[in-house]
Every structure is written in structure tokens, then in C-alpha cells.
Structure 1
Amino acid sequence: MKLSSKALLALAISSITATAYAEPVSQDFVPTTLAGTSAQSEAKGFIEDFSLGGTTRNWYSHESKYRGGTFEYKKHGQTLTDRNRTNWVQGTIINASSGFTQGTVGVKTELAVYNALVLDRSKRDIKGGSNRTLADSDGDAVGQWSKLGLANVQFRVSNTTLTAGRQNFSSGIVDTIGNRALPSSFEGVSFNSEEFSNLSFQGGVFDRVSPRSEQSLSKFRSEYGNGAETDKVSTLGLNYQPLKSLKVSVFGANVKDFWNQYYFGATHELGDAQQLALTTGFNYYKTVDEGKKEMGEIDNDTFSLSLGLAHQAHSLTFSYQQVNGNEYFDYLHETNGIYLANSLTSDFNGPNEKSFQVAYAINMAEYGVPGLKFNIYSARGWDIDGTHYTGNNGRAKFAYDGIQKQDGEKHQEYGIGGSYAIQSGPLKATTVRATYVEHRGSEFQSDGSIKEFRLVTTVPFNIL
């Protein structure tokens, strides 16, 4: 990692921090003690704590490529092109969850059925579906389909839970992603231990992923690779709160024959939002090749540093991000395992890329409209340089093919959004969010030039 950029940002943070004269967020040290209560001792019973509910989400997206970019689709055996793509899907989750049985070892089961109903089935509109609409080999939409999104059994002793089966998991490297009509999930075994007051441990071994827009389980792939698969992902880490104002996460993961990846994240809060509050976030990833090196040779250090200023309803955030490596900063496909500040429509993760983002948000609750929020941002990336990439390891099909063309590439992204959460009544917690994003890339920048409008409505419901 190049320390010069980090040092400059640290100086900027130090100078602004001195102006925060109100400090109601305690900076006190938090001692590590055993948890005061046992979650298992409060178990209500397998049937007694049973719940049945879920969510339904209406997910609409319209994309337009420009500067010569097009989408492809097949019709009557011919490959046709068009600059627009539309996807419209209704995704519904019905989740049945028991309570934990009573006793020293509690047992619980969770079952969730995922269903997708495609509202726009035009082959020309969906353009093969990608990871938005499930399509068959001819490019026709699968109009309605279902699958088991979650199916697991959980065992709990005190405050430690072991989960086996299809499940959600959340960490800086392996994380369920839910930005489509339906979320992803993972098949494997994991644990979560919260035996201490301010220190928890997490880990898991997974062999399959249930993708957002597919019916079957799949092996893991990388987000930016070219097809290589692996059937074992192991991860272990901890979350720690040494100060009342400071939270830290440390995780490592072995992706068999791909890479070893290590993550460190920290968030610090200072001040009072009614006057001036500061939130500093730092995220760092180290990735090195492993085993058979199916993704080629990798030695990558990537970090982001963000500074957020908040005053009453308003917040302003500045984020700097840098990739140090001759390949993309990569992560697992169908996961949200990228906690970098400038991961937007573009991940701003090109080889040796530097990027900067300015974002503004307003919470209208301060003006008498709780649940209504707006945001706007602008991000730029520059100095993308893949000309020194040599890590194909003789496996050009599986490496980052074409990255060598990226010589001084740059791009920019703008976005604006608004959301509203209903505060009361039968539709309480229903959210509606609309976003518009425009991304413009230079000739060989990987994301191209595209505009997208999304409208997403999510309605939670309880049956029992």
C-alpha cells in the first residue's frame, strides 16, 4: 500500500476532527467480559416461538447503453443488438422459522421458499436475463419459478449457534447480497459465537451458492474472472468493540485454488449530529493467489477511507479508494463481499485505480416527514493501469483477459435516489426506493457507458 495518500487523508481528518466541540459519543474503553445473559436460557420452545412471514419485492430496472455500447440477444437464430434492457420481476419470500428448543442444547429449523414472477417476458427487453431475469438457453424468460432459498438446522449452546444447510451469512468477505428481486444464500456450515460482551467470532465453510436469479445451486466463481469455479470457501473472523465509539472487524478466507483474502474494517464515531458528528470508516483487503492459481498470480492491496460529516438532517461524505495491484480487486460472485466505500454501480476496482467520491444525504424526518430520505453522489476513478499484468499463469481463459489494454483509463459515475418507508398502519415498514445512475467510462474501462433507472418496492408481511 502507498502510504502517501493515506497520510494526506489522515491529516485532513485530524484537522476537521479538532472542530467537533460536542462529544456525547463516549470514547471510553470497553472491557471484555463474559456476556451477562445466555440466549439459550431464554429459549421459548420449538413450537412456542414459531413464526411465519416474509417479504414481496417488485423490482424494476431500465438500462440504456450509449457511446456505441449495446446489449445482445438472439431471435430466430440471429444475434441482434439493442442499446436498451428492461427487467421487471416480482420476488416473494415465505419464511417459516421455529424457535429454539429448551435445554442446554437448543435446536431450531428455518425454511424459506423463494418465488419469482417475471412481469416483463419480452426476449428483446430482458436481453438474455443476466443476473436479473432467469432465462432459458434460447434467451426466453422463465415466467415463474421457485426454489428453497433457506433450509437449515441450528444448534445453540449459551450464546453460540451452529448452522448447517442453506443459510444467510454476513462478513466482509462472504456476505449475502440482496440487490435484486431475490437474495443469494450459501450452502454449508457456519457458526456465530457471542460469549463476550464486546467480542464475537464468526466462521463458515461453504461449497455452493444459491444465486439471486437462478433456481439451482452453483459453484463459486469470482466477480471479475472468466469462468473458473471452486467448490470450497472457508472463512473465519471476529467483530470487536474496543471503545464505545469504535468498532473493528477482522476476517480471513481461503477460496480453494483461487486466493487467500484478508479483510480489516473499522468505524469510529465522534461528536453530536445535532451540532457536528464525524464518522470515519476504513476498509482494507489483502488478496494473494492460492493452490492451483486458477485466477492466475495475484498480489493485491486495496483500501478505502471515508469521512462523514453529519449535522441534523444533513450528511456529507468524502471517500478515497485505491487499488495496489496489476489485476482487479476481485471478490466472490453472488456475494456482497466488497465493503469498499466506492463500491457503487461500478466497483472502482480496476488495476492500480484511484477513486474519489462525494456524497450528500438528507433525512426528512428532521422536517416532519419521517421515513423520507434523499441522496446524491458523484464518483471519479483514474490511473487505471493493467499494462503490467502478467498473471495469467498459462490459463488465459480463467485470467483477467484483456486487462492489459487498460492504460490510463478513467471513468465517472453520478447517482441520485430517494426512498420512503411507511411508518404505521397495515403496510408499516414497506419501502419504496427510486434511483437513477449514470456511468461513463473511457474506451477500455470495463464498465462502459450506461444509464440505469430502478424502482424497487419491498413489502414485509407476517402470517403467524
Structure 2
Amino acid sequence: MRVTSSALLALSISSLAAMAQAEEMSQAFVPTEVKTGASSQSEASGFVEGQSLGGTTRNWYANELKRNNGRFTYNDHGVEKTTPRRINWVQGTIIDYSSGFTQGTVGFKTQVAAYNAIALDRDVGDIAGKNNRTLTHSDGDAVGQWSKLGLANLQARVSNTTLVVGRQNFSSPTIDVIGNRALPSSFQGVGLHSEEFNNLSFDAGSFDRVSPRTEQGLKKFRSEYSDSAKVTTDRASVAGLNYQPFKSLKTSLYATHVEDFWNQYYFGAVHDLGDNAVLGLNTNLNYYKTIDTGSKAMGDINNDTFSLAFGLTHQAHTVTLSYQQVIGDEYFDYLHETNGIYLANSLLSDFNGPNEKSVQLAYSINMAQYGVPGLKFNAYHARGFDIDGTKYKGTAYDVKKMDGEDHSEYSIGTSYAIQSGPLKATAIRATYTTHRASKFQSDGNINEFRVVTTIPFNIL
């Protein structure tokens, strides 16, 4: 797997062959123009007339087993215990009310969403850890049932531009809602989204608190990979744009300021070529630049991280080869309780160790081509190597023992989305993943089996 340059060259050559055979994807230039015709606000139906009430309920189950003598440590009513296995089983339900926008030049609406979680497995020995995936009391017992306001905001809209104030969902490459548990996270602050042009949109946001996936209250932001959870920041702000210069090319450019942590810059590009019915090529580039700022609460940071992925699709089949590299003596880091990592090899492990290189080979098949719409299968193998934190001079990350560390990850999965009937759009996904690591690689040796069922519903 270390012959990455040769592998990428071989895939590029095969991609050029694909281009010669199929050029159905238009490469036409898209001129930037102000949107004409009716705007989103001009079509507002009214505060009551446009209201909706619905949500989702998610059954979330994960069974983890540490290998090679690894152990989970947990508190059982004041007694510290260890176990190789951890099981979490939670039912998460969201009831989401949104009014319609009022009519007029400036429209107003409100959104309120109640989040509720029920612990289906409440055994202290199964949960094996505080608030990791099941909310717990200080003695280790599960909180059997709990609720909170996940969303609560006011929105104002002019034309195709919307301002949101309060607890909200927000999506960008550096601050993004993460929804991989029974309930998602959300952010408290101000967000803006504008689509006044046909191929150019803008986003901006400034947030001072995050509502964690498995907690009831609001928290200050902290780093995902810091060696201390006590190091927090008072504010995270982001601004950026999405631009589609060609029908086949989409780009993104974002800048983020995390107070006293870092300034982080992101560039992304996705290009499609060919015809998937014959042979299509998808190229995906992600690049992050992270530099310390302010009081440098996370220490000195100067980090460049990128991923480049090539996906070849023929009808139902897609094969993807991804290369990722971290250039810096610390982790590529992002904010905890966010999905602010759009790198190709962010899997069960993020493959983001200091100076780490990683390669992933993935395969997926869409069974709609064979008469079973909604059914998909996928598998991947990823390997990270050359992890080196020996030159790190800060104190925020525990990486100094990492000297030539490596690790690998294998996964198989299947998903099915119901196509019709009262349970239409219900999604069921099952995955089995194994991760194996050298002595000082932080993710360790673990197997995980996960089953997640999500059922959407409408009340109003």
C-alpha cells in the first residue's frame, strides 16, 4: 500500500482512458448571474399556512470489542473497573416544528425541535464509560430517559438570503452538525445562508456554544484531539462560498476563526467526467491549512492536510482510491461535536496523526441496477503509515512517542431505504469495522458492529 505515487498514476491513466470513451458530463462554463424570477421569499405562504410538524426516530446500536488486551475503563458506583467490550443501545427521537415564513419583503419564521433519548441498554458494565454514547449519572448508571431543546431559533429572510438566530443546524467544512449517534449536535449563535446567484452561494456563522450529541446542556467548544478536555474556546466563526464555474465542477472556499485556538482555511473541489452508465470519473480534493492564533491555547500549530480521491463508476459499481496526507508535527484537528473534517479517509479512524500518510481502496454497489432499489453494499480497506510526532514541541497533543506508527482499517456495510408505503424513506444501515494499530497509534485495536435504523414521520 506504500507505493502511493504509482497507484495514483495508474488510476489517472485509466481515468484518461475512461474520458476517451465517455464524455457525457457537460464541461460547459456557467456564467454567474443574479437569479431572476420568483425568489424564495416572494413565494412565502405565511406563518401558519407554511407550518410543518414532523421528525425522526432512530434506533442506534453499537457493540465494540477491544483486542490485543485493550480495555475500556469505567466507574461502577465508585469502583473503577475495566472490560474489553462496550455496548450502547439508544432510541433517539426528534420532533421538529417549523412555521412558514410571513409574507412581505422581509419574512420571519421560527423553528423549535425537541430531542429525546431513551437508553435501551442500561447496564453499567455494558455502557462502560461516562457520556460516551449513553448519557450517564456520576456513579456510572445510565440516565434512562432525557430530553432537551435541540433547536430553537428565529429566522429572517429577504429574497434568497436567510439569517438564523438561536440554536440551529449549520453546515460548513469546518463547523458542521454531526449526526452519527442517536441524536445530532447543534450550535448556538448566528448563521447566514445566501443564494442570490445561480451558481454562487455564501455561508457565515458565529457560535459560542455547542449542544452535544449525548448531553442535555450546552458546552463551550473544545478540540477533538487535545490531550485535555478542559481547554475550551468562547467562540468559533466561519465564512465561505460555494461556486460552480462549470456544470461538472463545484468548488468551496472557507475561512474559520476559533478564538485562541486556530485560524483554519479550507478549499474543496469536486469534478465529474464521463457517463456513469458507461464509465464515469469523480475527482474530489479537500485541503485544510491550520495556523495557531491568539493566546495559542492549543500551542503552536502549522498544519497542512489534504486528501485526493478518484472514483470510477460503471453502472452499479464504484471503485474509489483515496490518498491523504498530514504535513505537520501535530494532529490535523477540528472542533469536538462537529463534523468539521471533510477528508476522504475520515472513517472510524480519522487517519490524521502527525505527518501521517494514508491510502484507502473502497468498493460500493447499488442494487437498484439489479432490481432492488434502495439496497446498497460497500467495503473498504484503509492504511495509515509514517506517523511521526517526535518533533512536536507543544503540550496540547500526546504524540511525542509516535515514531513510525501505522494502522489499518477494514469495513463492510449494507444499507436499505424503504421505497414506498407507510415506512417510506426509512433507512436501515449495518456495518462491521475492524481497526488494528501499532503500539502508540491512538485509536488502538478494536472491532465494532453497528446497526442504525432511522424512521422519518410527518404529523402536520
The bucket for the TM-score relative to the shorter chain is: over 0.9
Corresponding residue for 2:394? 391
- Contact 1:128/1:140, CA 8 A, preserved across alignment: no
Corresponding residue for 1:297? 300
SS in 1 for 2:42: helix
Corresponding residue for 1:13? 12
Corresponding residue for 2:412? 416
| Cα gap change, 1:10 to 1:159, in 2 (>3 Å) | farther
Corresponding residue for 2:210? 209
Summarize deviations over 1:27-59 as a string: whole Å, max 9, x none: 000000001231100000000010000000000
- Contact 1:131/1:212, CA 8 A, preserved across alignment: no
The structural deviation recorded for 1:24 is 1.4
Q: How does 1:135-154 map to 2 (within 5 A)?
A: 135-154=136-155
The structural deviation recorded for 1:252 is 0.6
**Distance (whole Å) between structure 1 residues aligned to residue 70 and residue 356 of structure 2:** 23
- Contact 2:77/2:140, CA 8 A, preserved across alignment: no
**What amino acid sits opposite 1:411 in the alignment?**
H
Q: How does 1:239-278 map to 2 (within 5 A)?
A: 239-278=242-281
The structural deviation recorded for 1:10 is 6.7
- Contact 1:280/1:307, CA 8 A, preserved across alignment: yes
| Corresponding residue to 1:400 among 378, 397, 402 | 397
The structural deviation recorded for 1:5 is 7.3
| Corresponding residue to 1:440 among 436, 440, 444 | 436
- Contact 1:17/1:278, CA 8 A, preserved across alignment: no
Summarize deviations over 1:52-102 as a string: whole Å, max 9, x none: 000000000000001111001222432111100000000000000001000
Moved more, 34-43 or 176-185: 34-43
The structural deviation recorded for 1:155 is 0.2
- Normalized against structure 2, the TM-score is what? 0.97
The structural deviation recorded for 1:16 is 2.0
SS in 2 for 1:182: coil
**Distance (whole Å) between structure 2 residues aligned to residue 287 and residue 405 of structure 1:** 23
Q: How does 1:53-452 map to 2 (within 5 A)?
A: 53-225=54-226, 226-227=228-229, 228-392=231-395, 399-401=396-398, 403-452=399-448
Summarize deviations over 1:142-179 as a string: whole Å, max 9, x none: 10000000000000000000000000000100000000
The structural deviation recorded for 1:136 is 1.4
| Cα gap change, 1:219 to 1:356, in 2 (>3 Å) | same
- Contact 1:22/1:275, CA 8 A, preserved across alignment: yes
**Distance (whole Å) between structure 2 residues aligned to residue 365 and residue 216 of structure 1:** 43
**What amino acid sits opposite 2:16 in the alignment?**
T
**What amino acid sits opposite 1:462 in the alignment?**
N
Q: How does 1:23-42 map to 2 (within 5 A)?
A: 23-36=23-36, 37-42=38-43
**What amino acid sits opposite 1:410 in the alignment?**
D
**Distance (whole Å) between structure 2 residues aligned to residue 133 and residue 15 of structure 1:** 47
The structural deviation recorded for 1:7 is 10
- Contact 2:238/2:256, CA 8 A, preserved across alignment: yes
- Contact 1:52/1:462, CA 8 A, preserved across alignment: yes
The structural deviation recorded for 1:131 is 2.8
Summarize deviations over 1:195-246 as a string: whole Å, max 9, x none: 0000000001000000000000000001001221011001000000000000
The structural deviation recorded for 1:22 is 1.3
**What amino acid sits opposite 1:446 in the alignment?**
S
Corresponding residue for 1:461? 457
**Distance (whole Å) between structure 2 residues aligned to residue 5 and residue 344 of structure 1:** 19
- Give 5+ residue unaligned stretches, structure 1: 393-398
| Cα gap change, 1:8 to 1:374, in 2 (>3 Å) | closer
**What amino acid sits opposite 1:233 in the alignment?**
A
**Distance (whole Å) between structure 1 residues aligned to residue 157 and residue 91 of structure 2:** 35
| Cα gap change, 1:15 to 1:415, in 2 (>3 Å) | closer
SS in 1 for 2:369: helix
**Distance (whole Å) between structure 1 residues aligned to residue 10 and residue 319 of structure 2:** 18
- Contact 1:261/1:288, CA 8 A, preserved across alignment: yes
**What amino acid sits opposite 1:380 in the alignment?**
R
- Contact 1:251/1:262, CA 8 A, preserved across alignment: yes
SS in 2 for 1:16: helix
**Distance (whole Å) between structure 1 residues aligned to residue 66 and residue 163 of structure 2:** 46
**What amino acid sits opposite 2:92 in the alignment?**
G
SS in 2 for 1:365: helix
**Distance (whole Å) between structure 1 residues aligned to residue 293 and residue 203 of structure 2:** 22
The structural deviation recorded for 1:14 is 5.4
Corresponding residue for 1:396? none
SS in 1 for 2:380: strand
Aligned residues: 454
**What amino acid sits opposite 1:400 in the alignment?**
Y
**Distance (whole Å) between structure 2 residues aligned to residue 90 and residue 248 of structure 1:** 37
**Distance (whole Å) between structure 2 residues aligned to residue 256 and residue 9 of structure 1:** 38
**Distance (whole Å) between structure 1 residues aligned to residue 153 and residue 258 of structure 2:** 23
Instruction: Calculate the aligned-residue CA RMSD, in Å.
Output: 1.4
The structural deviation recorded for 1:17 is 2.4
SS in 1 for 2:232: coil
Summarize deviations over 1:266-288 as a string: whole Å, max 9, x none: 00000111100000000000000
- Contact 1:431/1:457, CA 8 A, preserved across alignment: yes
**What amino acid sits opposite 2:406 in the alignment?**
K
Summarize deviations over 1:304-350 as a string: whole Å, max 9, x none: 00000000010000000000000000000000000000000000000
- Contact 1:357/1:378, CA 8 A, preserved across alignment: yes
SS in 2 for 1:150: strand
- Give 5+ residue unaligned stretches, structure 2: none
**What amino acid sits opposite 2:40 in the alignment?**
A
**What amino acid sits opposite 2:74 in the alignment?**
Y
SS in 1 for 2:400: helix
- Contact 2:72/2:129, CA 8 A, preserved across alignment: no
- Contact 2:77/2:139, CA 8 A, preserved across alignment: no
